[in-house]
Amino acid sequence: MRILSDTGPQVSRFRPVYLMHEEGLEHAHLQAVLDATHAVLRAAGVAANIEVHNFGVWRNSGWLEGNTLTNWNSVDWYLAHALDTSRNDRQLHGGHLLKLLYNEPWQEARPHYDIVVTHSDIYDDDCNFCIGLAVHGLGTVISTNRFLRLDARAQRECIITETMHEVGHVFGLVPGDRTDNVESSLGLHCTNRCIMRQGLSVPHDWLKITEDRLAGHKFCSACQRDLRRFFCH
């Protein structure tokens, strides 16, 4: 939904996707994220080149010392920091969570794309809430929270749509040099009947984008072109 900028050093774009999620995430929602991620990789033509690793509720050895979370060693630590820096105790600071992903030592050990999935509500400094945040070339934070009042099928389908949208941003959509069918709305978005158009009304807009996706309108031809071009550089 909202895109931040990655100004870090360039590394190979053919690198694995690492997924971790908050404890208590519904299995159907996790599967929706995984299905959507694979769908984007297929659309980009790189499904055979990029592995998706599901670390689940990731906790490294030594992640807890007494009652203290050790640095960088669990999804719990990332989420706790996002809550500690929050302006309230009901939301996670999504922007701060993305900064942690940018600075994590695991990127140096093996460069990868990150997907963090939470059932908690998230926000960023200039948004009261958001359903997702992404950084081109780095990763995304996805929240299922705002879809939880929908019926089970609508939840799953909207999470697929949201994930495809956010992973699309991670893979360069919409590029800054594009001039056709593009708007600036919390980052660059497509204006076609496309999964990369912006949805500010939640869940209404996302139900509509999902309806279009299920009718066959996923990535428009321009976004499909740009998605594949991302991996040609």
Q: Is residue 10 predicted with pLDDT exceeding 70?
A: no
Tokens of 138: 């780095």
Which string of b and e fits 147-167 if b means at least 16 CB within 10 Å?
beebeeeebbbbbbbbbbbbb
| pLDDT number for residue 3 | 43
| pLDDT number for residue 128 | 92
Condensed to tens digits (0 to 9), the pLDDT of residues 105-124 reads 999 989 999 999 999 999 99
CATH number at residue 73: 3.40.390.10
Q: Are 118 and 150 in contact (CB under 8 A)?
A: no
For the chain, how far is it from start to end, CA to CA, in angstroms?
25
How far apart are alpha carbons 35 and 163 in whole angstroms?
Answer: 9
Q: Is residue 87 predicted with pLDDT exceeding 50?
A: yes
How far apart are alpha carbons 227 and 219 in whole angstroms?
Answer: 9
The total number of structural domains in the chain stands at: 1
Enclosing H/E stretch for 14: none
- Residues 6+ positions from 216 with CB-CB distance below 8 Å: none
How far apart are alpha carbons 172 and 192 in whole angstroms?
Answer: 17
Q: Is residue 162 predicted with pLDDT exceeding 90?
A: yes
Q: Is residue 2 predicted with pLDDT exceeding 90?
A: no
Condensed to tens digits (0 to 9), the pLDDT of residues 183-215 reads 999 899 999 999 999 999 999 999 999 999 999
Q: Is residue 6 predicted with pLDDT exceeding 70?
A: no
Query: Which domain does 147 fall in, by range?
Result: 2-230
Tokens of 100: 């942690």
Question: What average pLDDT does the structure give for the chain?
Answer: 94
DSSP state of 70: P
| pLDDT number for residue 11 | 76
How far apart are alpha carbons 21 and 137 in whole angstroms?
Answer: 20
- For 113, phi then psi, to 5°, come to -95, 140
Mean pLDDT score, 129-148: 97
Burial of 25: CB neighbours in 10 Å, binned 0-12, 13-18, 19+: middle
Condensed to tens digits (0 to 9), the pLDDT of residues 46-83 reads 999 999 999 999 999 999 999 999 999 999 999 999 99
How far apart are alpha carbons 44 and 38 in whole angstroms?
Answer: 10
| pLDDT number for residue 229 | 96
